[in-house]
Amino acid sequence: MTETARAPAPPGSRRAELVAVATRLFRERGYHGVGMRAIAEAANIQAASLYHHFAGKEELLLESIYLVDRDMVVEQLPLLDGPGTHRERLARLVEGHVRHIGAHRDAWWVAGRELRALTPARLDEVQVYRRRYQHEIGDFLAAGTAAGEFDCPDPRLVSLALLDMLNGPNEWYEPGGRLDLDTLVARYQDLALRLVQKAQ
């Protein structure tokens, strides 16, 4: 297994804790404003111990971005093949996506703003998952249209519009704000279904 193909760190593991610390610092100071020593100090470990877990700062950045652009995709896509109507499955996908933003706000911020700090090879690895998510949602919308549940003459375009909408809360959602997460999920489910509904 290559370094970048490493499986996700189990939740609660020391490796996952270190990724969380690095992700918070990347959000607060920017990727280029944080060094390995600062990450080690924030995690209350020696720099040599941090290098035992990660080869360098870019690997920490990749793991942070992968939380959004790999792990979420792997979790979400099976929902499209699950039980229920196409409308029900789309609603579950929307819920999972929005709740993921709420639970991993630092990682979403980093994935949205620090992606270009990755080397070209690692950027390509991330983009594979982004394209897969978009394409499979497009295929799902096409299938829902063929089944008579959706009205999507251009499923690829609608998949892009849907993802632009779903990614939006990353820019402005704050716990304790005007909308709690449950309300936000319900509103976005309604908006998504309106986007694909058949004319009455």
Asked whether residue 164 carries a pLDDT value surpassing 70, the answer given is yes
Distance, in Å, from the CA atom of 34 to the CA atom of 36, rounded to the nearest integer, reads 7
What the chain holds in terms of domains, given with CATH numbers, is 3-196 (1.10.357.10)
Tokens representing 137? 């949602």
Contacts for 126 with CB less than 8 Å, ≥ 6 apart: 62, 65, 66, 69, 70, 115, 118
Q: What is the pLDDT of residue 32?
A: 95
Nearest to 126 by CA among 55, 33, 61: 61
Mean pLDDT rounded to a whole number for the chain:
92
Instruction: State pLDDT tens for residues 42-80.
Output: 999 998 999 999 999 999 999 999 999 999 999 999 999
| 189 pLDDT above the threshold of 60 | yes
Share of the chain above pLDDT 70, in %: 93
Residue 198: predicted pLDDT:
74
Q: The whole model's pTM is what?
A: 0.89
One-letter amino acid at 117 equals: A
pLDDT, tens only, 95-118:
999 999 999 999 999 999 999 999
Residue 29 in this model has a pLDDT that exceeds 90: yes
Residue 7's pLDDT band, with cuts at 50, 70 and 90, is low
